[in-house]
Structure formats: structure tokens, C-alpha cells
């Protein structure tokens, strides 16, 4: 594949247009599958080795990162994580394009963040035809167990995504959003500072 053709494919991907497995094959060297496998089989006591693997896998990774194995990623190198991240077991990144995660983000078990979908018509899925749009998770977000975040979604500062939600549209800051499809059910307010405290 010529450099010009690679640029054309990357431009199409950036616009959220359909591209195929064969067209995107030149990106294969950016996949960190061996390092991800190694991380998932590294003993918990080997904290320095785990940290060095995360630095090698991700596009960037902040300080004080907790990511409980196993986790999975299509590339790994398209994921950018801020400081004080907590990712529980079975976190899946479908990172054909960027997934950007801010600071102080918590993700519960078995969450999927997928930047990629497929056309509805089967003829357009030949050669694994697909489209990709970036995901942004802003600071201080909490995502509940078994949630799925779909291509192009931005989850705003401080928001909470309820367990089992399918997030197909962007969620504004400081809200609680739940369901399939995920919808805002209420704002987060100062009253939430007093829940589950002594005497409540």
C-alpha cells in the first residue's frame, strides 16, 4: 500500500466513514497484543513490571494507575489515561481510534469502551467493514459494571453511568445517567454529599 493510499484511509477513518480490515492492515504494528498478554499474566507483586508494561501499551498513562487484569484492547496505543485511574477486571478498549480518559476516573468490572461499529447492511460489512469515532471520558467520571460506551460518545465531568447502561449519546457533566439507551435521570447536587454518611 502506498503512503498516499495510507493517508487516504486515515482521512476516511478520521471522518467516521466506512473502511475495511485490509485497508487498515498497515496499522497492525501499533497493536500491543503481546504486551497486553504479558500484563494480564504478570503477578500482582511485580508492580514495577506492571507499570512499565502499561507505559509501553498505552498512548499515555498518568500516575497512580490501577488496572486489574485481565483487560483487553484492540491496539492499546490509542488509549490515553490520566492520573489516579481505577479500572476493574475485564475492561475492554476497542481503540481503533482514540479513547481519552481524564483524571480520577473509576470504571467497574466488565465495561466495554468501543470506538468502532459496523454498517447495518451486510454487503457493507464485507472484509469487516467498519467505522470508528473517538471516545472521551472527562475527569472524575464513574462508569458502572457491564456498561457499554459506543463510538463518538463524550461523558462529561463528574458524571455517573449506571450499571448495564448502553451509552449511545454524549452525557453532560455532573449528571446520573442510566439505561438502554442511556439517559440522564437527574443532576448531581450538593445533596449527594450527604448520602450514605453516618445517620443516613
Q: Which long-range contacts (CB under 8 A, 24 or more apart) does 121-128 make?
A: 124/18, 126/20, 127/20, 127/21, 127/22, 127/23, 128/20, 128/21
- 118 given a catalytic annotation: yes
Give every CB contact of residue 91 below 8 A, 6+ residues apart in sequence.
67, 71, 72, 107, 109, 110, 111, 113
Q: Which residues of 171-180 are buried (b: 16+ CB within 10 A; e: fewer)?
A: bebebbbbee
* DSSP at 65: -
With b meaning 16 or more CB within 10 Å and e meaning fewer, what string describes 90-107? bbbbbbbbbbbbbbbbbb
In sequence order, which residues have a C-beta less than 8 Å from that of residue 169 and are 6 or more positions away?
Answer: 153, 181, 182
Annotated catalytic residue within 3, 41, 118, 121: 118
Spell out the alpha helix ranges (H) of the chain: 3-14, 21-24, 33-40, 47-57
Active site residues: 118
Amino acid at each position: 500500500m502506498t503512503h498516499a493510499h495510507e493517508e487516504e484511509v486515515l482521512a476516511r477513518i478520521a471522518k467516521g466513514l466506512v473502511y475495511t480490515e485490509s485497508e487498515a492492515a498497515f496499522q497492525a504494528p501499533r497493536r500491543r497484543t503481546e504486551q497486553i498478554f504479558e500484563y494480564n499474566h504478570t503477578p500482582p507483586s511485580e508492580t514495577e513490571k506492571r507499570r512499565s508494561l502499561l507505559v509501553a501499551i498505552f498512548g499515555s498513562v498518568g500516575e497512580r494507575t490501577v488496572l486489574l487484569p485481565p483487560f483487553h484492547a484492540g491496539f492499546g496505543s490509542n488509549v490515553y489515561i490520566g492520573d489516579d485511574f481505577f479500572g476493574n477486571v475485564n475492561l475492554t478498549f476497542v481503540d481503533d481510534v482514540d479513547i481519552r480518559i481524564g483524571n480520577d476516573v473509576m470504571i467497574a468490572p466488565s465495561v466495554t469502551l468501543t470506538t468502532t461499529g459496523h454498517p447495518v447492511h451486510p454487503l457493507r460489512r464485507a472484509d469487516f467493514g467498519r467505522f470508528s469515532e473517538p471516545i472521551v471520558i472527562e475527569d472524575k467520571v464513574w462508569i458502572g459494571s457491564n456498561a457499554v460506551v459506543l463510538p463518538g460518545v463524550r461523558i462529561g465531568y463528574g458524571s455517573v453511568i449506571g450499571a448495564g447502561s448502553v451509552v449511545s449519546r454524549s452525557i453532560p457533566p455532573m449528571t446520573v445517567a442510566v439505561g438502554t439507551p442511556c439517559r440522564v435521570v437527574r443532576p448531581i447536587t450538593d445533596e449527594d454529599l450527604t448520602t450514605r454518611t453516618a445517620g443516613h
